[in-house]
């Protein structure tokens, strides 16, 4: 799964407004109807949405309007429903983030969606009287955002329980960074590398790589790791505990930044002029293990891997990632499956890659021959050759994007790094999930020992 939080700039789940909250855009209106919070007539008034892509500009206001109607009915609902809601608000799982999130969301709505960095100074700096006044004046709006989170976690837990009943594990994803315009940075500016004006001194990114000649300038604020270490990395352990609440396994994006991270001076237009800075990965994951035990984490270790990253991976023993689309640039590439050990996860491609069929279309004849010599298969359906060798590898897990299972080309690509818009919109349709596809995947899973 991609991250489940409220998406930020460009609708990216990797630049979300919260590391803890769930996205109300993912809520099922049909389940709200079944709870008596919406009517069939209200659902039938839905706009005509395109089948292949998410129309964020229309979906967001439509779902927001439905949530407002659901909230109005909830306010006059019976005491049992109200008691469940109050129990959610007061539960320990929400104590570290819900109050900050709801106040942030209410204030963001009051200020027309503006970033907290543009709010009036007393609110930017969280002066106690300003916060107290805001809580009193925005009480109804705060309740609404708490209600949206109550519904999100109620629906997600129902989905998670249904998956458990079928022995299906949910593989989640945690971005290493959070957005500057997030409840997390606003509520805890002391944990982030901000100047006296609460602006980032430097921002996140990666140097030039496979995806971009000028690097990737993500723009997230960087962590103040020394400050985080003073309380035993409590924010991180709380965050990972929350991630493992909604998923059974969690991939941590850009894991290499726990060893050293690329810091780009604020104001740069590209990520070229950054520098590597050492991070306290050993101390962090020691604290995580002490707080949470042996957690099911996968390390996204793609990109520029240096010896310090290798040492951190050896220490944590987290499974690493292998991406087959990266494996055929040379005859003995380390991403080729005959180099794997069991402690890894193999992907045909990730959300940042083109689909396998789209990738195939970019290869020259020599590269295509190298791929086919290794994986076999049908050049008219190259994704199934990669899927087969992924499943037959010794990797602990094999991950295949839905677009590859469906045989789609570049029109179904999920994300193109460094492209600020046009991403994250691909959507599967109900009719794509055909019994014939399920049977094919099941048979491959049986043959490769990947199912009982």
Block mean pLDDT (10 aa), the chain, length 452: 93 94 97 96 93 93 97 93 95 96 98 97 98 98 98 98 96 96 98 97 89 86 98 97 96 96 95 96 97 96 88 96 94 93 97 97 95 94 97 97 97 90 93 94 95 76
Same domain, 7 and 143: yes
Is 264 a member of any domain?
A: yes
Question: How many domains would you assign to the chain?
Answer: 3
pLDDT at 346: 98
Is 16 a member of any domain?
A: yes
294 part of the active site: no
Same domain, 3 and 138: yes
Q: How far is CA 126 from each of CA 16, 123, 177, 190, rounded to the nearest angstrom?
A: 21, 5, 22, 12
| Helix spans in 166-258 (H) | 183-187, 225-229, 234-246
Is 205 a member of any domain?
A: yes
Same domain, 15 and 154: yes
In the DSSP assignment, the letter for residue 377 is S
Is 180 a member of any domain?
A: no
Catalytic residue among 100, 141, 193, 352: 352
In whole angstroms, what is the distance from residue 236 CA to residue 297 CA? 13
Catalytic residue among 100, 193, 300, 354: 300
Both tokens of 38, joined, read 């919406």
Same domain, 204 and 299: yes
Same domain, 381 and 298: no
Is 182 a member of any domain?
A: no
Is 248 a member of any domain?
A: yes
Same domain, 258 and 382: no
Q: How far is CA 144 from each of CA 19, 43, 147, rounded to the nearest angstrom?
A: 19, 20, 5
Same domain, 22 and 136: yes
Same domain, 308 and 410: no
Is 176 a member of any domain?
A: no
Dump strand ranges (E) for 31-126: none
Both tokens of 246, joined, read 């909604």
CA dihedral for 363, 369, 370, 372, sign (positive or negative): positive
Neighbours of 71 (CB within 10 A): 18
- Can you give the pTM of this predicted structure? 0.94
Both tokens of 237, joined, read 């352990």
pLDDT at 251: 98
Same domain, 87 and 213: no
Q: Taking Cα atoms as reference points, which of 450, 357, 373 lies closest to residue 405?
A: 357
300 part of the active site: yes
Q: Containing domain of residue 374, as a range?
A: 325-452
Catalytic residue among 184, 253, 383, 404: 253
Domain stop point among 168, 202, 223 = 168
231 part of the active site: no
Same domain, 30 and 134: yes
pLDDT at 9: 87
Same domain, 341 and 302: no
Is 385 a member of any domain?
A: yes
Domain stop point among 139, 168, 197 = 168
Both tokens of 53, joined, read 């892509």
Same domain, 352 and 313: no
């Amino acid at each position: 799964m991609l991250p489940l939080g409220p998406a930020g700039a460009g609708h990216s789940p990797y630049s979300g407004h919260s590391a803890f909250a769930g996205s109300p855009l993912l809520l099922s209106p049909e389940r709200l109807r079944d709870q008596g919070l919406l009517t069939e007539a209200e659902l039938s008034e839905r706009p005509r949405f395109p089948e292949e892509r998410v129309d964020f500009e229309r979906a967001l206001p439509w779902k927001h309007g439905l949530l407002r109607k659901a909230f109005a009915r909830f306010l006059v609902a019976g005491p049992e429903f109200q008691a469940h809601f109050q129990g959610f608000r007061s539960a320990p799982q929400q104590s570290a983030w819900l109050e900050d999130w709801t106040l942030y969301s209410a204030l963001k709505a009051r200020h027309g969606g503006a970033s907290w960095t543009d709010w009036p100074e007393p609110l930017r700096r969280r002066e106690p009287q300003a916060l107290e006044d805001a809580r009193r004046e925005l009480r109804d709006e705060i309740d609404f955002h708490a209600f949206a989170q109550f519904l999100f976690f109620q629906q997600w837990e129902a989905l998670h329980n249904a998956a458990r009943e079928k022995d299906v594990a949910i593989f989640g994803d945690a971005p290493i960074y959070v957005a500057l315009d997030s409840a997390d940075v606003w509520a805890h500016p002391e944990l982030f590398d901000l100047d006296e004006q609460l602006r980032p001194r430097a921002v996140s990114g990666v140097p030039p790589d496979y995806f971009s000649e000028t690097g990737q300038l993500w723009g997230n604020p960087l962590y103040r790791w020394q400050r985080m270490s003073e309380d035993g990395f409590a924010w991180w352990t709380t965050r990972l505990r929350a991630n493992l609440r909604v998923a059974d396994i969690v991939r941590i994006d850009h894991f290499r930044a726990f060893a050293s991270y690329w810091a780009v001076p604020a104001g740069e237009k590209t990520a070229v002029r950054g520098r590597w800075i050492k991070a306290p990965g050993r101390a962090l994951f020691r604290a995580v293990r002490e707080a949470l035990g042996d957690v099911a984490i996968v390390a996204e270790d793609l990109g520029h891997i240096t010896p310090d990253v290798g040492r951190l991976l050896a220490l944590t023993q987290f499974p690493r990632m292998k991406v087959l689309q990266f494996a055929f640039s040379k005859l003995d590439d380390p991403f080729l499956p005959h180099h794997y050990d069991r402690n890894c996860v193999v992907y045909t491609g990730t959300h940042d890659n083109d689909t396998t069929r789209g990738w195939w279309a970019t290869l020259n004849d020599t590269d295509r021959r190298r791929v086919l010599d290794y994986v076999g298969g049908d050049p008219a359906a190259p994704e199934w050759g990669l899927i087969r060798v992924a499943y037959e590898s010794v990797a602990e897990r094999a991950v295949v994007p839905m677009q590859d299972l469906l045989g789609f080309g570049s029109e179904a690509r999920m994300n193109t790094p460094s492209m600020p818009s046009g991403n994250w919109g691909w959507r599967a349709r109900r009719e794509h999930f055909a019994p014939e596809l399920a049977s094919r995947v099941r048979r491959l899973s049986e043959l490769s020992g990947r199912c009982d």
